[in-house]
Amino acid sequence: MTTIDTASHAASSDAGVGRALSTVAAWATTSDHKRLGRLLIVMGLLALLAISLIGGLLGFERIDATSTVLNANSITQLFALNRVGLAFFVVVPIMLGLAVAVVPLQLGARSLAFPRTASAGFWAWLFGMTLVIISIAANGGPGGGAPKFVALFIASYGVMLAGLVAIAVSVATSVLTTRAPGMNMRRVPLFSWSALVSALGLLLVLPVAIGAVIYLYLSYRYNKVPFGGNTGVLQWLGFSLSQPTTFLYVLPAIGFAAEIIPVTARRRMPMRTVVLAGLALVGVAALGGVTQSEQILPWAGKGLNLDQFGTKFADLLNYAFFMALPVLGVLLVLLIGPLAFKGSRPKITSPFLFGFFGLGMILVGMLGALVNGVTDLGLRGTVFEEGVYTYICYGAVLAGMGATAYWGPKLWGRRLPENKLIGLALLGTLATVLSSLPYFIAGFADQPAGSITFDYSGPQNLWNVLVTVGHVAMLVTVFSFLGVAVGGFRRGQVAGDDPWDAQTLEWATSSPAPVNNFADVHSVTSAEPLLDLKPTGGNS
Instruction: Give the domains, in start order, of the chain with CATH numbers.
Output: 32-298+317-532 (1.20.210.10)
For residue 374, the cross-strand partners are 297
pLDDT of res. 312 = 82
Sign of the CA dihedral with 162 first, then 166, 168, and 172 last: positive
Ranges of the chain whose pLDDT falls below 50 = 1-8, 539-540
Q: Note the Cα 306 to chain centre separation in Å.
A: 44
**Distance (Å, rounded) from C-alpha 211 to C-alpha 59?**
33
Provide the pLDDT for residue 5.
46
Residue 305 neighbours by CB under 8 Å, 6+ apart: none
Cβ proximity of 396 and 95 under 8 Å: yes
* CA dihedral sign of residues 405, 408, 410, 412: negative
Q: What is the pLDDT of residue 28?
A: 86
Q: What is the pLDDT of residue 4?
A: 43
Q: Where are the beta strands (DSSP E) in 343-480?
A: none
Report the pLDDT value the prediction gives residue 540, as an integer from 0 to 100: 43
Whether the Cβ atoms of residue 478 and residue 86 lie closer than 8 Å to each other: no
Distance of alpha carbon 101 from alpha carbon 93, whole angstroms: 12
**Can you give the pLDDT at residue 222?**
84
pLDDT for residue 301: 57
Indicate whether this model's pTM tops 0.85. yes
pLDDT at 2: 43
